[in-house]
Structures are given as C-alpha cells and as structure tokens.
Structure 1
Amino acid sequence: MAAASCTPSEDQFLCSICLDVFTDPVALQCGHNFCKDCITEHWDRSDRCQCPMCKEAFNTRPDLRVNTFISEMVAQFRRSAQQKASSSSSSSSSSEQQVFKPGEVPCDVCTETKLKALKSCLVCLTSYCETHLEPHLTMSGLKRHQLIDPVENLEDRMCLKHDKPLELFCKTDQTCVCMLCTVSDHKMHNVVPLKEAYEGEKAERETDIQQMIQKRQLKIEEIKHSVDLSKEEADREIAEGGKVFTALKESAERGQANLINTIKEKQKTTENQAEDFIKELEQEISELKKRSSEVEQVTHSEDHLHLLQRFMSLKVAPPTKDWTEVSIHSSHEGTVVRAVVQLEETFSKEMKKLLEAELKRVQKYAVDVTLDPDTAHPYLILSDDGKQVSDGDVKKNLPDNPERFSDCDCVLGKQSFSSGRFYFEVQVKGKTEWDLGVARGSINRKGTIPLSPLWGNWTIWLRNGNEYKALDGPPVLLSLKSQPQKVGVFVDYEEGLVSFYDVDAAALIYSFTGCSFTDKLFPYFSPCDNDDGKNSAPLIISPIK
C-alpha cells in the first residue's frame, strides 16, 4: 500500500486493515471501505466472509469493484500531501540537517543529497529525514504508524508470505508473524504484540543474566573460600612439615652426638688400656735394669767361686709378663653403620606415622563406587550389589554395546569424576593377578588396551603372585616390603595426581604425578584370568573403615 498523507479531518480515507490511505478502495454492502488487496487477503485467510469492522457476514463472497469516486478523492489527497511535503522540503535548509555518512541510515525519500534518517516507519517500511518525517508527526493517519530509530533492511521486517509488517510474535512457534499469519498458519496460537514479546524476552534475559551474574559472584566467593581453605591447609602442612623435619633433624643430631660420644669413649678406653700396659712395661724395664746393674757389679770380682755362686742366684729372673700376645686393637669398626641403621629405624617410624596420617587424610575423600555392568567384559561375573568382580572362565551372551570392553577382562565403575578429589579401596586378598586404577571415559573399549597414561589409564598390576609394577611411561617395577591385601586409590583431578596405598601397612605403593586430565575419570578394575582357579578370588570394593 502506498504511503501517503491526509489532513486531520480525512480519517475516513484510511483503510482499517493496513491503517494507510486507500489503494484501489472498494465498498462492502455494509458501507465500510477497504483496500481491495487488503480485504481480499483477509478473506483468503479467514474461514468466513465478514466485514472486519462491523462483523456483518456475507453468505457469498461479494464481487469487489473499485469505488471510482473514493479512488479519485484519494488521488487528490495524495497530490496534496506530495505538494505539502515538497513545499516543506524547499522551505527548510538541508544544511541544517546532517548529510548521510557511511555507516548511517539514509533517508529513502531524498532524491538529490541524501540526508541522515531520523526515524524508520515499520508500516511504510521507509526511513525518513527530519523534513520527510513531518507528515508522520502531524497527520492523524500517519501518526498511528510505528516509528523506530533508523534501521537498514526494513524489508526484513515484512512477512515473506503475506507481504505485511511483522507486528506480532507467536509464542507457540517462537517466531515473528504478521496479522494475516494469525488467521492462517498460526491460528489458535499464543500471539502477542512485538513490544510485549520484547519486554517479556528482555525481562527474561535480564533475569537470566542476573542469575548468571549471581552464580558467578557465588563462584567467586566459593573460589576465594577455597583459596582461604587452601592457605589454611598449606599453613598446617608447613607447620606439620616443620615439626617433622625438626624432629628428624634433632634425631639425626642426637644420633651424630651419640656416635661421636661412643667413638670417643671407646678411644678413651683404648688409651687408658695402653697407659696401663705402658706403666707395667716400664715397671718391668726398671726391674730388669736393676738386675743388669747387679750382674755388672759381680763381674768386677776376682773370686770365681763367689762369682759362680752369685750368677746362680741371678739366673732367677725378676717376675715379668709374657707380652707376646698383648696388643692394642681398634674397636671402631661398624660403629657408624650401627648408628646409621638406628637412625634409619627412627626415620622409618616417623615415616610410618606420616603415611598413616596421609592415608587418613585421603580417606576423607572416600566415594561410593559400584561396578557398571554395561562396561563389563562378557567373561566377568559381577555381584548383585555391584561391589565384586571375578573372572568366570565362560563367555556370557551379552549385547555388544559401545560401552562394553570386548577383549580386555575389565570393568569400569558407574561413577565418573571430572574435578576434585576421590578415594576408594579394593580388597585383592587371595589373588595372584589383578589390575587397578582409573581410566578416562574415552578409553578404547574394543580391541587390545595398552595400560599406559598415553592410552588414557593410570594403573598398577600384580603378576605371578609377587611381581608388582606401575604401568607408567616407562613401566616401573615395584619393590614392596609386604604384599598388599587391600589397595587404596586416591585421585586429585586438578593436581594431576593418582596414588596407590597399601591400606593395612599404611604405605605408599606408587604415585603418578604431573598428569593432565581433560576427560571424565572412571575407576578401573580387572580381576585378570581365572588361571584354572588359582586366581578365582574376586576383587571387592570395600567400605572405608
């Protein structure tokens, strides 16, 4: 419909359907006038033929003919409006208005110098500068048109099917529609004006945004609280570590002092013994020198009878000791070794205390783990409570779903973890072979699965009853003081840590460190082959005591 203006007293020349000046006006039997195309499209989309104004119904669709009188009157009004617009345009200086610049919306009516549009009309689908906007601000018919800030591509605001403005919003189909859509494709739908829909959507978006802001503010507080807790924990660890290392240092210093005292005491004993030997030897030397003097005196006599008799008495030697087997021996051998062994025993006791405390700490993160039957290899037998798994030596007829392992005798836990810390314990008593650990959710389920962090699993295993190995890159052979009967598995997702513990001995078996987790982690279990009953004992997920 052409956009034209009329004087304020000519409202009767406006079509009540398109709210614009008549184009090809037709009169119905009830006396109301409409644009021919408007009333035709309205009836095409409606079940009944009736007047949109007075609702008078017609049994048959009226034969519509253009009312030439009204048509001529409309033409006169159009010419009058154009003359008025031209007069207004010539009287106003275009220099007082801004000339259209790149990136701005131009006036669609300006023919020579394009001025910047001040408003766009959603009814006329035209953008107007200040001069050409005047009729929309002064003429009653055009005053009803909806004006918005200037926008480009106004044709995108027209219904492609009915060539009518998109003035409504269908909540049912969540799309913008025109008036005619409401009596056709969107009949009986929940339809509201665009402004109402906009206000509703705006309020909903604002609510959503505020909720998102609140959630993030809460997350900030949560993170700050976590940092505070982490600092408190760090301070406790520093203090505890200081106590432990101070105790170890003092123990080492005491051991060193005891070692020095022991060596000095032994040296003092040796020196005292040597002094006693020397005094005794000096005494004997003195006696022997005295005898030597007596012999010397006898040799000066000429009386040989007396001399021989005297020699006979001198033959009896003074009392002396046999010094042949007497010696001073160093007794320091093994002193240092014994001191170090004693220190090692002290350190071992302190280490055991630390590991016991560490195990109690990680046990705080215990989670309830159950086995997922959808992932279990067909050879495996799972208990009804999902806490035990063993190898049954017989392949069950199970659906080969994507989650199920096809070649490896293993099963995953139902629970997955993508953040934080978690811990669980597994009884391995009576088994000669097993695999334990965690695996990422995207681990290959079909075919052979190499046990390595490179393939998305962090595990340790037992083979041949006494061979323990951590399947790291490369694998690490483990030397354990005792055979674990119950194994604890601890994971710190953010820290990239997977640790295994001998629960009964409160000893650390092995730790994977510096891991990079980007996927969900699942507990991983493999009871391994039954081995003709030698390895028939089940793996049992145990409650934390």
Structure 2
Amino acid sequence: MASSSSLLSEEQFLCSICLDVFTEPVTTSCGHNFCMACITKYWDSNDLCQCPLCQEKLSKQTKLRVNTTFREIIENYKLLRDTGKDESPAKPGKVHCDVEEKQKAVERQAEGLIKELEQEITELKRRSTELKQLSHTEDHLQLLQSFTSVVCTPPPTKDWSEISVHRAVRRAVSQLEETLNKEMEKLPEVKLKRIQQYAVDVTLDPDTANLFLILSDNGKQVRTGDTELNLPDNPKRFDRFTVLLGKNGFSSGRFYYEVTVKGKTRWDLGVARESTDRKGDITLSPEHGVWTMMLRDGNEYTACASPQIRLSLSEKPQKVGVFVDYEEGVVSFYNVEARSHIYSFTCCIFTEKIYPFFSPCSDDSGKNAAPLVISPVNHKY
C-alpha cells in the first residue's frame, strides 16, 4: 500500500492532457484517467479513437462516466491543499493543528478506501479466473448456470450502509465488476461463443457475381472458372474483378457468418456498402465502403485498411468468421477453429445497407481452384 506522503503527491492527481488537477475525472476501458473535457476534446480532434497514454483503440460510442470515487478523493485533496494555502503563516515552532488533523483524516480515509478496493479487486480476480475456466467447457447448460452464479451473485462485501463515504466505494466496486465483465467479453474464446448467437443464413447473390464466377445450386459455394459465362448484363454485377455479394443486406443490429477457406491461396472476405462501385476498378478500403481482409501467396494476410496492415497469424485459418455490429461500427474477423481474434475495424460509419462480400480470386492455374464455402455455424465449438 502507498505511504501517506505518496497518497497526497500532486502528480497522482494530474491529467496527462492538461497537466492540471483532474476536473470531472473519467476512466477509459484501458484503465487510464483524464478530465472529461480533455479526453472529449482529444477524441474530437483526432481521426483515431485511442488512449493518449497507451494508444489502445477505443470506441467513440463508449459513454464516459465520471469516476465518482476518484472525484471524491480529488476534492478532498483540493480541500486540504487550499486549506493549507489559506492559513496564515505559522509562527516559528507553532503547528497548524487543524490542517494537520484534516490531512491525517484524509490520509486515513484514502488508505481505508484503497484497502477495501484491494479486497474487492482480489475477489473480482478470483471470479475472473473462474470465468476463464468456465469458458473452456462444452456443456452450455453448465456454462450458463455457472456463469450466472459467478457473475450475478453479489461479492461478499462489508456492510457500508452506515458510512456515506463507503457508499462511494460500493459504487466503485460495482463499476469494477462491470469493467471485469467487459474485459471477459474480450477473451476470444468467450467472445466468439457469444458472437455466434448472431449467426445469419447467408446466400450468394448471382446477380452481383462476376461472369467468371461459378456458383453452386444452393448458393453456398463459389469458385473462379476459366471462361466467362454467357449471362445478361446486370447493373448490380461486378464486371472487372471476381467479386460477388450476399443476397441480403443489413441496416441495423448485429450479424455473423462463417466461410471455409481451406485449400485456397488467395481470397477476400468482409462486407461492403450497397453503393460500392461495381463497374471498373475496386479499391478495398473503408473510405470506398469496403471492410475486408485478404490472403495472398498462401500465407500473407492483410487487413485492407488505409494504409493496409500486414497481419501476423500464428495459425493459418481454415474457416473465417465475420462479425458486424452496425450500431457500434465494428467489423471483426475470427479464426473459427483456433477460437482466436484476427482483426477488427472499429469506429466504422455505416449509413446504408451493408452486404457480405466475397472474392475467391483467380484460380492461379489450378493452385487456387478450391471454392469459398459459406458454412453452417457450429455452436458446439
């Protein structure tokens, strides 16, 4: 635990943006504190939503809330500091008893808050360990029952109802548990299981398919042929690249689908807005309404951002999951069999329908002849 002197060090109460004592402090999901006005202004002046300290990508849709416990400690500190400034200079050998007593009281209060919070954090870490263990069970009924028991049962905290300052600590503990639950959501194996509940039935749209693409009768597979098909022209059809879309678009909510890419050396997967260019050149980037990742040369994976981002994957995906949260502006890719997250586009702005996007690419003289296959989601993974 920190000593009394370190508890009241002014550096601990300075916002890293304005370099002044916090005003209406808020805590980001990565655990750093800033003034509400400072972080809001910082995000408004930057294209990327990220923490100024650790550079973690954040979501602008996240509603910032004032950290009430931290604010109370800061107000106590300001009161103590200002009281010390207002006191007249002491005569040699005379001690300002009132200031000293207030300082000691604030220090005792802060130490008590920290001790209680440490106990709560220990309990929440224990729950985190239990949840990680639960995430590996294949018994969904046991997972649901155990998860409800672990998360929904209030932690065995002390009864603080008679002390007003402890009510603030209790609120802080509730916020900590909420943060823990959000962190648990980030665990790939847990998150993917929950994302799969948003699985939708995706079928390929032949009206959008480039003339070199060959679709299966059930609309679940597509591969690239050697010659153009003799089909009527269609304004929806991609005319230059081996691309097609899903039949159904989405303008709200969340959706998820999986595509088997086994045996392929090249492919593109993701989503595209309805108005994306269908004729001539296509630029795979969010600025042009396309959010995709791609494989080239059998082992080069890239997120088609601006600029493009090379992805280093420990395992080669055989099946790729694509998840979209329309309101949150997120497009995520997963290695389904490895239960791992590959990449996410965040802070996306969707203003129209978006459609699943597919490209099996050229067959590369037979080396890339395997089809892309829209696979049923297996909830037993």
TM-score by length of 1: 0.36
Identify the residue that residue 537 of structure 1 maps to in structure 2.
370
Identify the residue that residue 509 of structure 1 maps to in structure 2.
342
Identify the residue that residue 195 of structure 2 maps to in structure 1.
362
Identify the residue that residue 51 of structure 2 maps to in structure 1.
none
For the residues of structure 2 that align with 1:522 and 1:401, how far apart are their CA atoms? 17
For the residues of structure 2 that align with 1:473 and 1:498, how far apart are their CA atoms? 15
Identify the residue that residue 415 of structure 1 maps to in structure 2.
248
Shift in alpha-carbon separation, 1:541–1:249, aligned structure 2, 3 A: closer
Residue 387, structure 1, aligned to residue 220, structure 2: yes
Q: 2:128, 2:184 within 8 Å by CA — same for their partners in 1?
A: no
1:438 maps to which of 262, 267, 271: 271
Identify the residue that residue 460 of structure 1 maps to in structure 2.
293
Q: 1:390, 1:539 within 8 Å by CA — same for their partners in 2?
A: yes
For the residues of structure 2 that align with 1:494 and 1:523, how far apart are their CA atoms? 17
The one-letter amino acid of 2:329's match is G
Q: 2:264, 2:298 within 8 Å by CA — same for their partners in 1?
A: yes
From the two aligned structures, give the one with the greater helix fraction: 1
2:193 is paired with a residue whose SS is helix
The one-letter amino acid of 2:360's match is P
Identify the residue that residue 125 of structure 2 maps to in structure 1.
246
Please show how residues 283-294 of structure 1 align to structure 2 within 5 Å. Answer: none
Residue 483, structure 1, aligned to residue 316, structure 2: yes
The one-letter amino acid of 2:377's match is I
Shift in alpha-carbon separation, 1:454–1:244, aligned structure 2, 3 A: farther
For the residues of structure 1 that align with 2:296 and 2:247, how far apart are their CA atoms? 26
2:206 is paired with a residue whose SS is coil
For the residues of structure 1 that align with 2:123 and 2:284, how far apart are their CA atoms? 37
1:414 is paired with a residue whose SS is coil
For the residues of structure 2 that align with 1:358 and 1:394, how far apart are their CA atoms? 42
For the residues of structure 2 that align with 1:467 and 1:243, how far apart are their CA atoms? 42
Q: How many residues align?
A: 208
The one-letter amino acid of 1:456's match is G
Shift in alpha-carbon separation, 1:444–1:244, aligned structure 2, 3 A: farther
Identify the residue that residue 233 of structure 2 maps to in structure 1.
400
Give the C-alpha shift of residue 393 in structure 1.
1.6
For the residues of structure 2 that align with 1:533 and 1:352, how far apart are their CA atoms? 41
1:519 maps to which of 352, 356, 369: 352
Give the C-alpha shift of residue 535 in structure 1.
0.1
Deviations 1:56-107 (A, max 9, x none): xxxxxxxxxxxxxxxxxxxxxxxxxxxxxxxxxxxxxxxxxxxxxxxxxxxx
- Among all aligned residue pairs of Structure 1 and Structure 2, give the percentage whose two residues are the same amino acid: 63
Please show how residues 31-110 of structure 1 align to structure 2 within 5 Å. Answer: none
Deviations 1:426-461 (A, max 9, x none): 000000000000000001110010100011000000
Please show how residues 125-274 of structure 1 align to structure 2 within 5 Å. Answer: 246-247=125-126
Q: 2:185, 2:191 within 8 Å by CA — same for their partners in 1?
A: no
Extract structure 1 runs of 4+ deviating beyond 3 A. Answer: 242-245, 247-251, 350-353
Residue 450, structure 1, aligned to residue 283, structure 2: yes
The one-letter amino acid of 1:507's match is S
Identify the residue that residue 261 of structure 2 maps to in structure 1.
428
1:454 is paired with a residue whose SS is helix
The one-letter amino acid of 2:277's match is N
The one-letter amino acid of 2:296's match is R
The one-letter amino acid of 1:498's match is V
Shift in alpha-carbon separation, 1:535–1:495, aligned structure 2, 3 A: same
The one-letter amino acid of 1:491's match is V
2:374 is paired with a residue whose SS is strand
For the residues of structure 2 that align with 1:443 and 1:458, how far apart are their CA atoms? 11
1:488 is paired with a residue whose SS is strand
Higher RCO by CA contacts (8 Å cutoff, separation 6 or greater) = 2
For the residues of structure 2 that align with 1:494 and 1:375, how far apart are their CA atoms? 26
Deviations 1:145-199 (A, max 9, x none): xxxxxxxxxxxxxxxxxxxxxxxxxxxxxxxxxxxxxxxxxxxxxxxxxxxxxxx
The one-letter amino acid of 1:246's match is K
1:461 is paired with a residue whose SS is strand
Give the C-alpha shift of residue 503 in structure 1.
0.1
1:540 is paired with a residue whose SS is strand
Shift in alpha-carbon separation, 1:250–1:376, aligned structure 2, 3 A: closer
Q: 2:334, 2:343 within 8 Å by CA — same for their partners in 1?
A: yes
Q: Which has the larger radius of gyration?
A: 1
Deviations 1:308-342 (A, max 9, x none): xxxxxxxxxxxxxxxxxxxxxxxxxxxxxxxxxxx
For the residues of structure 1 that align with 2:347 and 2:341, how far apart are their CA atoms? 17
2:329 maps to which of 492, 496, 500: 496
Q: 1:352, 1:507 within 8 Å by CA — same for their partners in 2?
A: no
Shift in alpha-carbon separation, 1:408–1:247, aligned structure 2, 3 A: farther
Give the C-alpha shift of residue 354 in structure 1.
2.4
Q: 2:303, 2:309 within 8 Å by CA — same for their partners in 1?
A: yes
For the residues of structure 2 that align with 1:355 and 1:374, how far apart are their CA atoms? 36
Q: 1:501, 1:507 within 8 Å by CA — same for their partners in 2?
A: yes
Identify the residue that residue 373 of structure 1 maps to in structure 2.
206
Task: Give the gaps of 5 or more residues in structure 2.
Answer: 1-62, 64-120, 131-182
Give the C-alpha shift of residue 492 in structure 1.
0.2
For the residues of structure 2 that align with 1:400 and 1:250, how far apart are their CA atoms? 58
For the residues of structure 1 that align with 2:354 and 2:300, how far apart are their CA atoms? 26
Q: 1:355, 1:507 within 8 Å by CA — same for their partners in 2?
A: yes
